[in-house]
Structure 1
Amino acid sequence: MFSVVNVQCPQQLKRLNLSESVYLRRLPNLSSATELEWISLQGCESLLEIPLSIQCLQKLVCLDLEGCKKLRSLPNLVQLKSLKELSLSYCSNLKMLPEIPIGIEELELEDCGLEGLPSSVPFLEDIYILKLRNCENLLSLPSSFHLKNVDALDLSGCSNLTKLPEIIGDLKVLLLNKTAIEELPSSIRSFSSLVVLNMKGCKSLKNLPSCICDMKFLQMLILSGCSKLGKLPPLYGLCSLRELYVDGTALVEIPIDIYAAECLQRLVLSGCSKLAKLRPLHDFSHLTLSYLDGTVLIEILIKRLNGRRSTFVMYHKRLHALPLNCTLMDTAGSYIVPIAEFEELSGSYNVYNYCNSVNWDQNARGDIMVDALLRMKEISITSDTDAHVIVGLPGSEIPEGFNYQSPGSSMDVLFPQCCFNSLFLGFAFCVVLDFEVPVVPKEGGAFNGISHTLPQV
């Protein structure tokens, strides 16, 4: 261990960098270094105190004390009128923050030992970065916050924080995951520009205010692991909502106005043991649904094809077959298309195998063919190299859309002269083969399906 208390700082010194001086215990008298603008003591794990002479540094702009683990207190810093950046992250033994100047713009307190904040913090009108993540000892916050320039407030991991203060500002991101918050304040309605609200693991949360529906720009609502949450608020105003995570909650049902969230693309329901039945999800044109079937996580893509409200195409990542009697899905008036087994044989091959789906009707096959052709066009446009798409279907007839058909193993086709130009994407072929047992394609193999070779154009 060493100290530099007897060293005199040069008067014209502007930057003092003692970062990672792990044996440094004390600093010299700083009163003579009146030109100092920047001090970094990051990682000085043995530093015990900051001298009172720091109050003489009227030009100090940045003070970085991140990782000073043995630091237990700080002198009053309110005299430092030029101070804009203060970092006390990972100062695990620092229990109280002194008064700080109102001109602070960046205040970083992540993984700090703070139990509370001084009265000046809520009135930092110029602040635009405020980090309080993982302050596990933080018991409370001032009753109100003025955060007019702060876009994101991260209180995640503040595991003893039970109440969120009234916040005045225009937040876009609010992270409250793994806090002990029991309810949100009524001021949440003023967050008209909020895009992300994360309350994952808030096990004390029992309900959400109905004013949530006023957040027309909210795109992601994460309530995973809120085990006491038994009901969702109205969703009718969440016209921008794209992702809704309610896995591990006590929800009994999904509100009927979920259809108002017309932009919803992901709904996660894993671990909702009290959820008996889902409402029909016909009105969503593209929605990924995640839930648990026993112990297996299933991810399903529900996609409306060809304008038909009653058509579902369902995929999942880990199973080779999807039960037709999905207990969560109301399938009345609809048919369920089972898993498409997706394989990438190489970088230029895309394989979708539906060969084992022998219970499909003609409408299902037709819709899959339409979807397959759309996939081909998308891949041909986005691929930089030659690409192949292979789709396997059950059946004994060539699907509609193949204008040239012939029995046997060959066929003559006359192509118009104008078709071979920069807009030409490739060829689509279909062959009907007879197998004694259902087949899963392997590299070099073939099955009842279509193959589309896409040349580079």
Structure 2
Amino acid sequence: MSKLPKLELEPTAMMKMRKLRILKFYHSCGRILLFKGLLSFPEELRYLHWEGYPLRSLPTKFDLRYLVELDMRESHLEQVWEGQQDLVNLKVIILDYSRNLVRIPDLSSATNLEEINLSDCSNLRDLPSSLQHLEKLTLLNFRNCENLRSLPSFYKATSLTNLDLRGCSNLCSFPEIMGTMESLRHLDLSGTALKELPSSIENLISLDCLSLNYCENLIGLPDSFYKLKSLETFYLHSCLRLEIFPKVMDTMEELYKLELPFSIDNLIGLEYLSLHDCEILVCLPDSFYKSKSL
């Protein structure tokens, strides 16, 4: 339905399509008119893709128990739905660029959820604590959620492989990782307001890519950093307040790319940087020689 002219729908229009399983509206902003609202979607809908969805929430009568994928990027949603929902079949949530979205609801019943994409939801403030219990979750994308200030604990999300928080410019803290996370491989914290990372970051035993670029408030890294034995690439560009780089107390055999900031010459008080036994480390920035106290 991507080439339709303007179309006004009655509140009951979707309810009459009882056998509909897949519904897709592409680039619908301003063309699908719901002046009287919408009572519900087909009760056994599996796939709902509606770019530019114009209402503030999903219809209150819509039962999501059969829904597998919810894709409402660029929507006008403020909250996705109200109250409790049976989400046992839901696997994917995509709400990218839904700039009015303030919160996402409780997801504790979404036991099969695998992906959550909420990039550029610039008014998103809260995340539900139920995220930590989603054992099949592999991807969390909150890129450029500028009003997001804190994260729930997520260490029980044992299948999580990719956590993207770049551009969350008001994110001031990162939660403690109370147990071993064997699946998380990519963690992007670029452009956040973090001052430090918890020492429990050592529990990310499979982490192979960590980005802290443009973390302008970052002062130092925890002493346990060297315990990230699987780390292959580490980015630290433009961390202008970085004062402390931890001693590397043991071999980090997998680390082959360490991108220290070109501004490392600004660390005029840096006296000790240990890179012992990083046997496949290729290069350091050209400005490295300017660290005169080293």
TM-score range, shorter chain: 0.7 to 0.9
- The answer as to whether partners of 2:29 and 2:51 remain within 8 angstroms in 1 is no
Partner-residue secondary structure (3-state), 1:107: strand
Task: Using CA pairs under 8 Å that are at least 6 residues apart, name the structure with larger relative contact order, 1 or 2.
Answer: 2
Q: 2:141 aligned with 1:127, yes or no?
A: no
Q: Which residue number in structure 1 is paired with residue 292 of structure 2?
A: 276
Is 1:42 the counterpart of 2:51? The answer is yes
| CA distance in 2: counterparts of 1:102 and 1:6, whole angstroms | 27
Whether 1:263 and 2:280 are equivalent positions in the alignment is yes
Matched letter for residue 102 of structure 1: A
Contact 1:15 1:39 in 2 (8 A): yes
Alpha-carbon distance in 1 for matches of 2:51, 2:251: 46
Secondary structure of 2:200's aligned partner: helix
Question: What is the aligned partner in structure 2 of residue 353 from structure 1?
Answer: none
Distance, in Å, in 2 between the alignment partners of 1:29 and 1:147 is: 35
User: 1:59 is aligned with what amino acid?
Assistant: Y
Tell me by how many angstroms 1:61 deviates: 0.8
In the alignment, what sits opposite 1:147?
157
Amino acid at match of 1:136: E
Aligned to 1:78: 85
Q: Within 1, Cα distance between the matches of 2:47 and 2:243? A: 51
- Aligned pair partner of 2:19 in 12, 15, 18: 12
Q: Which residue does 1:160 correspond to in 2?
A: 170
Aligned pair 1:212/2:231, yes or no?
no
Describe how 1:220-369 pairs up with structure 2 within 5 A.
220-235=233-248, 236-247=250-261, 248-249=263-264, 250-251=266-267, 252-253=269-270, 255=272, 257-268=274-285, 270=287, 275-276=291-292
Q: Distance in 2 between matches of 1:188 and 1:216?
A: 12
**Counterpart in the other structure of 2:71:** 64
Structure 2 length-normalised TM: 0.85
CA distance in 2, matches of 1:152, 1:186: 20
Answer with 132-141 or 70-79: which moved more. 70-79
C-alpha distance 43-268 of structure 1, shift in aligned 2 (>3 A): farther
Match of 2:199 in 1: 186
CA deviations 1:51-83 (Å, max 9, x no partner) are: 1122x2421111111111x22222136323211
Counterpart contact for 2:65–2:85, Cα < 8 Å: no
Say which SS state the counterpart of residue 234 (structure 2) adopts: strand
- Asked whether the equivalents of residues 245 and 273 of structure 2 are also in contact (C-alpha less than 8 Å), the reply is no
Shift of 1:145: 3.6
Please state whether the residue corresponding to 2:284 is helix, strand or coil: strand
How much does 1:199 deviate? 0.4
- Helix, strand or coil: the match of 1:200? coil
- Equivalent residue, structure 1, for 2:126: 116
- Inter-partner Cα distance in structure 1 for 2:276 and 2:199: 25
Q: 1:269 and 1:229, CA in 2 relative to 1: closer, same or farther beyond 3 A?
A: farther
Percent of paired sites with the same residue: 33
Structure 1 position 144, deviation (Å)? 4.5
1:174 pairs, out of 167, 187, 193, with: 187
Shift of 1:160: 0.2
Matches within 5 A, 1:91-102: 91-100=98-107, 101-102=109-110
Aligned to 1:120, the other structure's residue is in SS state helix
User: Larger C-alpha radius of gyration, 1 or 2?
Assistant: 1
Alignment deviations for residues 370-411 of structure 1 (CA, whole Å, 9 cap, x no partner) = xxxxxxxxxxxxxxxxxxxxxxxxxxxxxxxxxxxxxxxxxx
**TM-score, normalised relative to structure 1:** 0.56
Residue pair 1:215, 1:238 contacting (<8 A) in 2 also: yes
TM-superposed CA distance for 1:9, in Å, is 3.0
- Letter in structure 2 aligned against 1:116: D
Gaps of 5+ in 1: 279-457
Moved over 6 A (4+): none
Mean Cα deviation higher: 72-81 or 116-125: 72-81
Kindly state the Cα deviation for residue 143 of structure 1 after the two structures are TM-superposed. 4.0
Distance in 2 separating the partners of 1:259 and 1:120: 41
The Cα of 1:158 is off from its aligned counterpart by 0.4
- How many Å separate the matches in 2 of 1:256 and 1:86? 43
Displacement of 1:11 after TM fit? Answer: 1.3
